[in-house]
Amino acid sequence: MSPRSIALLLVAVLGPTSPAVAADQAAAPRADVQRIEDAILGRASGQANRARPESTRPLVRPEVERQAPSRPDVTRTDDPVVHLLAVADSNDPQIGAKVGEDARHVADLFEESFAQAGKRGRLRTRVVVGDDVTARDVLAAVRGLAARPQDTVVVYFSGHGMVDGRDRHTLGLGSRDRLSGAAVLEAVAAHGPRLAVLLTDMCSNFSDRRSGEPAVTPGAARDLPRGRVIAWATVEHLFLAHRGVVDLTAAEPGFPAGVERRGRGSYFTNALLQVLTTPHSALVAGLDRNGDRAVQWSEVLPQLRAAAAARSRADRRPGESAERPQQAYARSLGVWAPATGVALAP
């Protein structure tokens, strides 16, 4: 079954809602997301400019290799912690195996990366798959996190999804259950963390079956070198030096997302991990546009969009119609607010 057929099947299962409106990629974060981000930022001191979504040879996501020795853990009790909740509807008969790979792949990579940096104590992971993927169980898992004001909460989801006419994203869970992205972010925001990150690998077809208008034409992905783990400086920049909300998803409103035909997992997740595992100095050299020797989500988005699009193009069967390639979309990219001592590239 093609990714578009899967998306249409989801529409039939979840049913229509209000008429769709074409989305503008360069617009401010949608009302629900902005309200949640304002609540998080309202707890923090100081002011910063919001990062807005911006437009930009695909890489192959390397397997996590456990060759480099892990460093001793040097975590202090007051150090910021990243709480990672990886969710996948692995029971789905069409895409369950692929999205299950996504969730475990993300969790494994984060665990290996923190271990090699000697930061095991600064990561908390939980993988929710199978029968536990219901709206009630997912929200309970978010609410059960022990996040503090200095911490970051990352919720990753791989599975079905759709948007309605007000650009409200809905996660399609097992047993025909549904959960809005805003509800997930609300549950995260209740902890009062420094940063809430919602990464969703799912379709964004409109619920009334209307097609979307492309917001941005992806450029070519930069040819960045491959790495094995996420460098600690990259973790610092993207997950510890931003505030507010990062809400990043696999496809623009009105378009489907897809799973790999020839490899494991999905286009968006594989593109995301290939970007995150780029050696930090090369990542900054390739993506830093403002010359601050750091990398922000607004600078990552164009590369991620182009890499996911390249993967979906390369995965077409011979003679298959050239549908618009899948590319990432953001409702919010957080606020760049590094603390003193954040590592910068030389």
What pLDDT, on a 0 to 100 scale, did the predictor assign at position 12? 37
- Whether 23 is covered by a domain: the verdict is no
Q: Which domain holds residue 282?
A: 3-16+79-210+224-319
- Predicted confidence band of residue 271 (pLDDT cuts 50, 70, 90): very high
- Whether 46 is covered by a domain: the verdict is no
**Higher confidence at residue 40 or residue 119?**
119
Of the chain, the end-to-end C-alpha distance in Å amounts to: 48
Closest to 25 measured CA to CA, from 217, 207, 271, 185: 217
- Number of domains, the chain: 1
DSSP letters, 47-83, are --PPPPP-----PPPPPP---SPPPPP---TTS--EE
User: Which of 2-6, 137-141, 211-215 has the highest average model confidence (pLDDT)?
Assistant: 137-141
- Predicted confidence band of residue 3 (pLDDT cuts 50, 70, 90): very low
Average the pLDDT over each of 73-82, 89-98, 260-269, 278-287 and give the range with the smallest value: 73-82
80 phi/psi in degrees, rounded to 5:
-60, 145
Q: What are the tokens at 294?
A: 């750091």
Residues in the chain: 346
Closest to 330 measured CA to CA, from 206, 241, 221, 216: 216
- Whether 333 is covered by a domain: the verdict is no
**Higher confidence at residue 300 or residue 323?**
300
- Predicted confidence band of residue 110 (pLDDT cuts 50, 70, 90): very high
What pLDDT, on a 0 to 100 scale, did the predictor assign at position 210? 66
All residues at 6 or more sequence positions from 288 whose CB lies less than 8 Å from its CB, including other chains? 294, 295, 299, 345
Q: If DSSP codes are grouped into helix, strand and coil, which group holds residue 311?
A: helix
What is d(CA 283, CA 280) in angstroms, rounded to the nearest whole number?
A: 5
Over its C-alpha atoms, the chain yields an Rg (Å, rounded) of 19
- Predicted confidence band of residue 72 (pLDDT cuts 50, 70, 90): confident
- Whether 253 is covered by a domain: the verdict is yes
The pLDDT tens digits for 5-53 are 444 343 333 333 222 222 323 333 356 888 888 888 876 544 344 443 3
Contact 303, 225 (CB under 8 A): no
User: Chain centroid to CA 288: how far?
Assistant: 20
Average the pLDDT over each of 10-14, 102-106, 207-211 and give the range with the smallest value: 10-14
What pLDDT, on a 0 to 100 scale, did the predictor assign at position 214? 62
Mean pLDDT confidence for 220-244: 94
CATH number at residue 128: 3.40.50
Contact 201, 102 (CB under 8 A): yes
- The average confidence (pLDDT) of the chain is 80
- Whether 247 is covered by a domain: the verdict is yes
Pairing outcome for strands 242-249 and 160-163: unpaired
Q: In what order do the strands lie in the sheet with 160-163?
A: 160-163, 169-172, 178-180
- Whether 267 is covered by a domain: the verdict is yes
Q: What are the tokens at 312?
A: 């979906």
C-alpha dihedral sign at 134, 140, 142, 144 = negative
The pLDDT tens digits for 293-322 are 999 999 999 999 999 888 888 887 665 555
Q: If DSSP codes are grouped into helix, strand and coil, which group holds residue 84?
A: strand
Residue whose pair of structure tokens reads 């979906």 in the numeric block: 312
What is d(CA 33, CA 186) in angstroms, rounded to the nearest whole number?
A: 9
Contact 153, 191 (CB under 8 A): yes
* Cα dihedral value 285, 287, 293, 296, nearest 10: -150
Number of H-type helices and E-type strands within the chain:
9, 9
- Whether 22 is covered by a domain: the verdict is no
297 phi/psi in degrees, rounded to 5:
-60, -35
- Whether 344 is covered by a domain: the verdict is no
The pLDDT tens digits for 134-146 are 999 999 999 999 9
What pLDDT, on a 0 to 100 scale, did the predictor assign at position 87? 97
Q: What crossing angle do the helices spanning 135-143 and 181-189 adopt, rounded to 10°?
A: 20
The pLDDT tens digits for 178-199 are 899 999 999 999 999 999 999 9
Q: Is the pLDDT reported for residue 151 higher than 70? A: yes
